[in-house]
Copies of this chain bind each other. A is one copy, B any other.
Amino acid sequence: MDLNAYITNVPDFPKEGIQFKDITPLIGDAEAFRFAINEMAAFARAKEADVIVGPDARGFIFGTPVAYALNLGFVPVRKPGKLPRETLEKTYDLEYGTNTLAIHKTEIKPGQKVVIADDLLATGGTIEATVELIEALGAHVVGCVFLIELDFLEGRKKLKSIPIKTLLHY
């Protein structure tokens, strides 16, 4: 299935010069969405994932159906202040300024095999921070799966030897 047909290129969003890849036509189409989730789930199954992790908010769109399809649980990574119990936090650099992500300390168990799902691998900062949070809790990231990868940003370099599956490259 040609998923590319379901991605809309929106020029100059959210700011001038950026070609935004709008994924909403894909998730709005039953067949394309199902195909994408099944491809992602096949990767997570092959990696023998125990649990799926996804970053707020678009990681939820892919991570929770993948978890459901594989009969696994899902653990969210969110901005500070959103998760109500004790969290581990990680701050990382953005192009301008910094961002911080948080995960509940008790939701990932030491030794678990984790697959991270998200819509987009761009510079890789979000995913690198997510990997560090998971590994700080004693679990192992056995794979990362993305709908889209922006190859020219070379985000996969930040993920070193972690296996990566991407459905669409730009």
A84 CB–B CB distance under 8 Å: yes
- A74 to B68 CA separation, bound complex (whole angstroms): 15
Which A32-70 residues sit within 8 Å CB-CB of chain B?
33-34, 37, 51, 56-58, 60-62, 64-65, 67-69
A71 CB–B CB distance under 8 Å: yes
A9 nearest CB neighbor, chain B only: B84
With a cutoff of 8 Å between Cβ atoms, the chain B residues found around residue A60 in the complex are 57-58, 60-61, 64
Question: Taking A74-B28, A84-B10, A107-B28 as contacts, is the C-beta distance between A64 and B67 under 8 angstroms?
Answer: no
Query: Shortest CB–CB separation between residue A11 and chain B, in angstroms?
Result: 10
A5 CB–B CB distance under 8 Å: no
- Residue pair A85, B30 in contact (C-beta under 8 Å): no
Q: Name A residues whose Cβ lies closer than 8 Å to a Cβ of B.
A: 8, 10, 13-14, 20, 22, 24-25, 27-31, 33-34, 37, 51, 56-58, 60-62, 64-65, 67-69, 71-76, 78, 81, 83-85, 104, 107
